[in-house]
Amino acid sequence: MSATSFAIETRGVTRVFDSRKGFLFREVSRTEALKGVDLAVEQGAIFGLLGPNGAGKTTLTKILSTLLLPTGGRAFVLGHDVVTDAEWLRPRIGLVLGGERGLYNRISGRENLRYFADLYGLPTAERERRIEEILERVDLSSAADRRVEEYSRGMKQKLHLARGILHRPQVLFLDEPTIGLDPKSARETRKLVRSLVADGVTIFLTTHYMFEAEELCPQLAILSKGRIVARDTVARLRQLVGGDRTLEAEAYGFEDSEVSALRRLPGVSKIIEEEYGPRTRLTLRVRTDEIRPDDVRALLPDHPELEVKERRTSLEDVYLDLVEEEAH
C-alpha cells in the first residue's frame, strides 16, 4: 500500500559512512553525508537538487534508487519504502549515474542495452523494437554497433541515458547528466529530459549547472553539508536570498562608512563584499524597483573608476548565498 501520494518523499533521511584504515589496528572515521533530509516531489515533475561537491547529492540519489541504505529516516518512491520494497521498485525506476564508467566498453552499445533489457525483464518481442526506439531517441542509432570504447564522452552519456529509460521507468534519477558534455550534447540531453516529463516520467535531477536547473526544474532544493538549506521554486528562492534584482558595484576598495550607507538604502536586503585582486565588488540584493544604479553611484562619489551594473538575481546567486550562509 502507498505510504505517500508523492512520487518521491524523504522523511529525516540520514546517512553515515564509516571508513576504515589500517589492517591490524583499524581506525574508523565517520562522515555524516546526510543529516536529516526532508523532501517531497510531485508525480510527473522535474525536481532539481543542487549542491557543492560532497554535499550528499549522489548519496541521496543512491538511497532513493535502492543502491544504498539510509542510516536513519525513511524514503519513499512511488509510495513504496526504498528499503523494504526495493524489489518492487527496481523495475519501475531508472538511474543514470553517468561518467566514463558504468558500461561494458569492449562490446557494442546495442549489446549493452540488450543485456540490461534482459536484466529488466523486457519481453523478448518488445526488446529489439524498444532498443531501436531508444537509440533513435538519444541519437545513437548510427553508432549502436560500435564498441563503447570508441564512443566519445557525450555518446557514453547518451548510452547511460538510453539504459536508464529502456524499461520505461516511472521515476528517473539523473545524477549530473550533462557533466562533461559539449554544449550541443548537453542541450540535446535537456531536450530529452523535457520530453520524458511530457511522457509522464518524474525526474529527480542533480546538477552543478545553475542555468540547467533554472531551465529544467520548476522546483528545486539546495543541499549543503548533508542538509537541505532551501527548497522552493526559483522565483521564491530569489526572494529568500534578498530579492529579484542584484546591483553590483566594483571599485578599488570601499570604506566601511560607504558600505553602511548602501546598507541603509530602502529595499537593500543584503550586501556581499568580495575581493578580486586590487578591486572590490559589492553585490547588493534588492527587493524593490526603487533603487537604481544611479542611487548607488550617488553614495560612492569618491570612486571615479566605479562601475555599477544591474541584473536579475540568478539561481547561481541564490545558490552561492545559501551555501555560503550554511558554511558560516
Partner 1 sequence: METVANEVSRGRSTVASLRIAILQFLADPQWLIPSMIAPVVFALVSYELFRGSGPYFLTYAILGAGMMSMWGQTLYGSGWATAQDREFGTLEPTIQSPTPYLYVILGRVLWNVLSGLFGGLIVYAVIVVAAGGPPALPDPLGFAILFVFVMLSLASVGVVFAAFYVYTRYAGFIQNIGEFAFYVGTGCMFPVVLLPFWTNPISLVFPPTWGLDALRYLAIPGYRGFGWGFWVDLLGALGTTVAYLAIAGSIFHRVERHVLEEGNLSQY
CA distance linking residue 281 with residue 132, whole number of Å: 53
Residue 107 makes contact with partner 1 by CB under 8 A: yes
Q: How far is the CB of 93 from partner 1 (least distance, A)?
A: 8
Exactly one of 114, 137, 146, 227 binds partner 1 (CB under 8 A); which one?
114
Axis-axis angle for helices 124-137, 153-165 (nearest 10): 140
Stretch that binds partner 1, among 35-43, 108-116, 255-263, 310-318 (CB under 8 A): 108-116
Residue 146's Cβ-count burial label (10 Å; 0-12, 13-18, 19+) is middle
Site for partner 1 in 245-274 (CB under 8 A): none
Please, where are the H alpha helices in 166-245?
Answer: 183-198, 210-216, 234-240
Residue 256 CB, nearest distance to partner 1 (Å)? 48
The CA distances from residue 67 to 178, 228, 268, 287, in Å, are: 21, 21, 46, 43
Q: Which of 93, 114, 92 is nearest to 104 (CA)?
A: 114
8 Å CB contact between 64 and 75? yes
**Smallest distance from the beta carbon of 19 to partner 1, in angstroms?**
10
- Please tell me whether residue 130 binds partner 1 under the rule CB under 8 A: yes
Among 103, 205, 251, 268, binds partner 1 (CB under 8 A): 103
Question: From the list 4, 170, 219, 314, which residue makes contact with partner 1 (rule: CB under 8 A)?
Answer: 170
Site for partner 1 contains 153 (CB under 8 A): no
Q: Is the dihedral of CA 144, 145, 148, 152 positive or negative?
A: negative
Give the per-residue contact string, 62-81, with partner 1 (x = CB under 8 A; - = no): x--xxxxx------------
Judged by beta carbon, residue 110 or residue 285, the one nearer partner 1 is: 110
198 CA to centre of own chain: 20
Instruction: Name the 3-class secondary structure at 327.
Output: helix
Check residue 185 and report its DSSP letter: H
- Our finding on whether 189 is near partner 1 (CB under 8 A) is no
Determine the interface stretch with partner 1 among 34-42, 46-54, 197-205, 261-269 (rule: CB under 8 A). 197-205
**Which position among 169, 177, 226, 242 is part of the footprint of partner 1 (CB under 8 A)?**
169
Contact flag: residue 35 with partner 1 (CB under 8 A): no
One of 6, 47, 76, 116 touching partner 1 (CB under 8 A): 116
**Minimal CA–CA distance to 198: which of 216, 210, 175, 181?**
216
146 binding partner 1? (CB under 8 A): no
Task: At 318, list the grid cell.
Answer: 541564490
158 belongs to the binding site for partner 1 (CB under 8 A)? no
If one asks whether residue 17 binds partner 1 (CB under 8 A), the answer comes out as yes
By the rule CB under 8 A, 90 interacts with partner 1: yes
The SS3 assignment for 105 reads coil
Q: Which three cell numbers stand for residue 312?
A: 536579475
Residue 280 corresponds to which cell in the numbers above?
572590490
Distance of CA 120 to CAs 163, 223, 234, Å?
Answer: 10, 32, 36
Q: By CB under 8 A, is residue 147 in contact with partner 1?
A: yes
Interface residue with partner 1 among 22, 123, 301, 304 (CB under 8 A) is: 123
Q: Which residues bind partner 1 (CB under 8 A)?
A: 15, 17, 59, 62, 65-69, 87, 90-92, 95, 97, 99, 101-107, 111, 114-116, 118-124, 126, 130, 147, 163, 167-170, 199-201
